[in-house]
Every structure is written in structure tokens, then in C-alpha cells.
Amino acid sequence: MNILVTGAGGFIASHLVEELVRRGHEVRAFVRYNSRNLWGWLEDSPCRDHVEIVSGDIRDYDLVKSAVEGCDTVFHLAALIGIPYSYVSPLAYVRTNVEGTYTVLQAARECNVERVIHTSTSEIYGTAQYVPIDEAHPVNPQSPYAASKASADFLALSYHRSFGLPVTVVRPFNTYGPRQSARAIIPTVISQILDGKETLSLGNLSPTRDLTFVSDTVSGFLAAAASSETVGETVNLGTGSEISIGDLVEKIARIMGREVKITSDEQRVRPAKSEVERLLSNPGKMRALTGWKADISLDEGLALTVEWMKDRRSLYKSGIYNV
């Protein structure tokens, strides 16, 4: 099968590309253009010589269409991520996440693609109004990032309803693991501990999250793409369990054999009305439609992430707040 993955140099997408290659697919990887011709996490990937790389801007319709041509399935993961920076530059999120999704959907429509897997985020739910959160939960984005992703979700579903495009919206809950960006809580904690800090600079410790290891998220994407039952549907990917940020920090420190203190860094705290206090998934729909479930425990996933980061400390600037 010929497959296009957008955002292929990023965290989740690079793992997805590698798994698709392992399964024998022909993979075209769309990465963001840069003057150094770097391919993100695919740069040092063992599969880099087994994929076709296309460098460009996800908002460039002509280039995106040329990348889509000849592909049976499109996994659309290209996005501007990170909630803090969305407070700084909201329009950038609209342009990349909404306009970029339009280019992918329209190109897929024009090229008669058989499946489009569009990537959502649990952030679009906002603070849980009930738990566990199923796909019928109200959409209540509390940041410009979440609003841009919700808009992209609705646009993707509209292409299914209006034009018959075989779209599935996959909604991961807080994926973590090797290659995650430095601004996320788990790499933030691990990198500070690895650099010998005894007092960690963090934000709000009370919110809870449903943390899903990246290999489970990848298997969820593949399961959604393989099932005809998910066409036109939105499906949650999560573990169905939650942990507070404070308890998560203690767990990471325990796995690393360290005792730490925590100091509140105001620049890391979201605006009060923008903080998502609780996210806990109900992955029952995904399991019913595809049989998928998360397999990696939190302790196991954190241990794997710590081991990966030990040899890559230079990639994470623990003394700088990454917006």
C-alpha cells in the first residue's frame, strides 16, 4: 500500500512512519521545509533510506496535492503543537492547523484517496464535564491551539459528510514517549532530573491526564485505518486511567531513583480559564470498532522514555522554559 504521512518528522508521526515501513508499506513522508534540509526525527531513523521524503509547507496546496497523488491512505499529523505558543501567536495555529488540514482534505478528495486519518487531540474537550470522556462529550476548547484543532476536526468530518471522503478522526489522549517535544511535562521533568536539578521548575500540579505511550497511539492509528467501521467516525485513543501532574512527577522521580522538590514557575502556569483540569478517556468505542487497546503501562512507558533520554540530554534545554 502507498501511504502518505504528513508531519512525518515529528514525535508521533516519525514512530508511525517507522512502523509502516516495518509492515512493508511504501511510505511517502511529508516534512516541513527548512534551509538545512533536516527531516526532524527521521534524520537519524533506521528507516530514512526506505521512505520517500517530500519537504514543504503543509499550506501549499499544489505541493501537498503532488505528495498525495498515487497514495491510497493519508495519515495527517502535520500541525503546530504546543499550547503556550498558541497564546503568543494564535493566527499561526489557524493557518497551519486549519488551512493545512484543508489542503490535505481537498488534495485527498481530488486524488480519490481511499482513506484519510486525521489527527485530533483530547484538548478539544476542555476540562471534563463528565468522566470518562466519550466521543459524545461536548467540545469546549480552552486555548487557541485546542480551538484550531477542533476547527480542523469539524472540517475533516464535513468533507466526509459533504463529499463522501472516507475520513476518520483519531483523538489521542496525551501521548508521551521517546522524541516528545521538550515543552511537554514528562520530558520537562526527566530532563531537569537528568541535569542534576534537585528542585524542579513546573507549572500547575493538580490537573489530571490520561497518558498513552507512543507505540500504543501508533497501533491505534493503524487499527483505525484498517477498519471500515471507523469511516466517518471520531474515536478516542486512551488508556482509561488518569494521574495528576503532581503524582506523575513523584512517579518519574521514583523510577529515576531521585528525590526532588518542586517550585512553581508562573510562566509555566496557564491562564486560569484556559487550564484543562481533567482529561480521562473512554476508549470503548475504539475497542468496539477495531479491538484496539493500550498495552503499555505507565511505569513501563516512563522507564522506556527515561532510558531513551539518558543518551540524548543535549537535545533538551532543561534550564530554559520551552514555549
List, for residues 48-59, the tens digit of each pLDDT value.
Answer: 999 999 999 999
* Other beta carbons within 10 Å of 54: 18
Question: Alpha-carbon distance 18 to 231, whole Å?
Answer: 24
CA separation for the pair 279, 26 (Å, rounded): 36
Would you call 183 helix, strand, or coil by DSSP?
A: coil
Give the type of residue at 61: Y
Computed over its alpha carbons, how large is the radius of gyration of the chain? 19
DSSP 139: P
Mean pLDDT rounded to a whole number for the chain: 95
pLDDT digits (tens, 9 = 90+) for 110-145: 999 999 999 999 999 999 999 999 999 999 999 999
Where are the CATH 3.40.50.720 domain residues in the chain? 2-175+212-237
Q: Phi and psi of 149, rounded to 5°? A: -70, -40
Q: How is residue 94 annotated by DSSP?
A: I
Reduced to 3 states (helix: H, G, I; strand: E, B; else coil), residue 152 is helix
Verify whether residue 145 is a known catalytic residue: yes
| Measured distance CA(25)–CA(6) in Å, rounded | 15
Question: Which residues neighbour 24 within 8 Å (Cβ) at sequence distance 6 or greater?
Answer: none
CATH 3.90.25.10 in the chain, residue ranges: 180-209+241-279+297-315
Give the CATH number of domain 2-175+212-237: 3.40.50.720
pLDDT for 314: 82
Query: Residues 145, 159, 176, 316: which is the catalytic one?
Result: 145
Mean of the pLDDT values across residues 295-306?
A: 98
Q: Yes or no: is domain 180-209+241-279+297-315 CATH 1.10.3720.10?
A: no
